[in-house]
Structure 1
């Protein structure tokens, strides 16, 4: 398994303690490989029109104006930009 940056693995002693705790808990167990393979991904469903992650620079005043509207500012900014694009291509 490839570890993500910043991941800290338990020491061998910690690993033993973790496994001891798992073994002592009657309400839990480790999944076998076949059970693990059958798990379904949870979370947001895949979009038919996924967003694209980019790095871009805007004037501070522009970002501050959108952020002033509270949560959802990136969605509002995207909607505003879509309107501009639609006008240019209409």
Structure 2
């Protein structure tokens, strides 16, 4: 059953507003105070806002590889993204990455230390 909202009458609303205005501990915000407070308001519950530049994908990864990254704890997906981004920056093209995989030296010393 849908809950019914009971709205105060104009007279009740005026009495509530008058009582609130008379209370020195609860003065209402002015428009300028609301404008100052609005940028500092924290977003409530729910999924955090994304960067807008990421795309959700389904990816099949070997269990041992996935367990390795999950062992990092909180932020393991971001960590995978950072590792792949570093490889992309270092390689500049996918053919360079393919050649490094074939030769067995995909990860540079810099990444081996980070992992």
1:52 aligns with 2:52: no
Q: Cα distance 1:46–1:56, how it changes in 2: closer, same or farther (>3 A)?
A: closer
Following superposition, which runs of at least 4 residues in structure 1 exceed 2 angstroms of deviation?
A: 42-47
* Matching residue of 2:87: 84
Report how far residue 87 of structure 1 moved: 1.6
Q: 2-side partners of 1:52 and 1:85: how far apart?
A: 17
Q: Cα distance 1:68–1:87, how it changes in 2: closer, same or farther (>3 A)?
A: same
Aligned residues: 56
Q: Which has the larger radius of gyration?
A: 2
Compute the RMSD of aligned alpha carbons: 2.8
Q: Cα distance 1:83–1:46, how it changes in 2: closer, same or farther (>3 A)?
A: closer
- The C-alpha deviation readout for 1:39-87, integer Å capped at 9, x for no partner, is xxx575663x610111111111111111101110000010011111112
Q: Structure 2 unaligned runs (5+)? A: 9-42, 94-115
Q: 1-side partners of 2:79 and 2:90: how far apart?
A: 17
Name whichever structure is richer in helix by fraction: 2
